[in-house]
Amino acid sequence: MTTPQSPRWVITQVDNPTGLDVWCSDSESVENVERGGSNISYRLIVQTQGFLDITGIDPNTLGLDMPIIIFDFNNDRMARQAADEAFTVTLSIPGDGTFTVVIIAPSGDGSSIILSGKFKPFPSVIAEDAAYIHDKIDQKHVPYPDVPDAPGKTDEEIRKLGQRLFPWSPHSYELAMCVYDWTTASFARMVFMKVFQYTAMAETPLPLDLPSIALMIWESKWDSYIPQNADYMSSFLMQPANAQDEVDVQLKQVHDELQRFSDVENRLLAAAIAALPRTTILARPYLFSGQVDIYQMGMSRFGIGMLEYPGNAGPVTSALEVEFAAAVATFFQLDSVITTKMVWAFTDSEADAMHYSNGILLIVEPHDPADVDSILWDTSAYVTGLSNDPEKTEYLFPPGSMFRVLAVEQGDNVQVIRLQVVSPVSAARLEGPQLLAALEGAVGQKDVQVQSFRTTVLAGEMTLGAEANRGVAHIVKGSLPGLDHVPKGVPPKTDHILAGRMNGRWCRCVEKHGIRK
């Protein structure tokens, strides 16, 4: 068995005839900085062009006894003989949406391999959306002003993070602020105003289940997040209320503006998620989420968060609610493809997710390589660096994320739902059972692609053809550990009630103190 190699590389030259700005997600200089590490991805950002994700893979972590290193550039891959020193990379940016890289071996004959590809496009950011959120910042509705005892971030810190993470956009500050605001109690607004939309009704704006929204606002009993608290109610553009009918009356007056507020902030949040650096599936083979993340919604409102829920077609006189058993027997059944109305938040350990569970544990695994040729979590982003609590691990999937239901099982006082990421292209083309059949039908092709990679490398050819290129993705996915072999992790050490660090999300600390009713 060969000694595991840590893929390391350094960009020594950028050919950039049009003078475009180039940044790296680690905020270091693009050139002459050694980067790498096994199964770590870096994101280069090129003005007007898009993103280039560079990932190094050590085949020894895949169980391949081969003295090579695999480099991945936006899903185009090459293999190189392993070396103790960093590889030299030359990057060419002609300005037409494409790139070319040359990787030169650090020793031996100094041979080079050339690879060309396309930048991943920037997400769309509407200038009017950014201006609207800026107004909400000026009006003190964003961010949530008082999260007890969480360290939080200053406005200047958020602004600087935006400049580092979203330098391609003139709206970097607003993008960063929307991510930060999600990690505060504001997330309740961003959830309620999404899940309680009748999304299958052909009206603009979409009709809302106003009685249910008012009830959710009124029934909040999280620490200071109660309807008598001025900050909490201001997050819904309202004044403190001492009775539910006061919430009802105010909501009828502000719901149009509140819905616009939510829609705009969710759009900017989705753009930020698309723009943040990616995580390799080798580093995080599964993600976990405790649901429902707002306790008063209960399990009967979990299913309404999917576009496939039949009640989205109305009528508006029918409340949006469906028993969990009914959901999993119909639109959420095995092999169904579901689409989220709202942002879904995940963490990287089962124990952490269970700490925030209110009856449901979601376990999501990466896409099938027959669906998406990628070794990254392409549709989610790690956002802890922008959080108000740096100790809270959080990955976000944007509204409109799609998943195939792999299993729904009864666990220890919790319903365990296993999901797999599905690409919008496949989901639009195939229904759930057809998608399953298509993926299963690709098994033979998978074997051909994996063998093509092995044959290519063993023959000493380090430029990968199309079959061998996708074979890498299959090998990576096939090397991921089974769920039984993934450490469950440990729950947060902090007693969130005593520390006042609930961040708007009810967790199991409330049970220890007898707060939950």
Domains of the chain: 8-118 (2.60.200), 127-433+487-512 (no CATH)
Helices (H) and strands (E) in the chain, counts: 15, 18
Q: What is the pLDDT of residues 110-147, one digit of tens each?
A: 678 999 999 999 999 999 999 999 999 999 999 999 77
The amino acid present at 411, given as its one-letter code, is: G
pLDDT digits (tens, 9 = 90+) for 3-47: 446 789 999 999 999 999 999 999 999 999 999 988 899 999 999
- C-alpha distance from residue 371 to each of 79, 404, 473 (Å): 23, 12, 11
More confident of the two residues 148 and 190: 190
- Give the C-alpha separation, 219 to 399, whole Å: 25
> The sheet that has 381-382: what strands, in order across it?
344-346, 395-397, 381-382
Beta carbons within 8 Å of 1's beta carbon, 6+ residues apart: 60, 65
Confidence grade of residue 407 (pLDDT, cut at 50, 70, 90): very high
94 pLDDT exceeds 80? yes
| Residue-level pLDDT at 4 | 45
Distance CA 48, CA 119 (A): 10
Beta bridge partners of 347: 288
CB 473 within 8 A of CB 373: yes
Q: What is the pLDDT of residue 491?
A: 66
The label of the residue with tokens 């209320």 reads 241
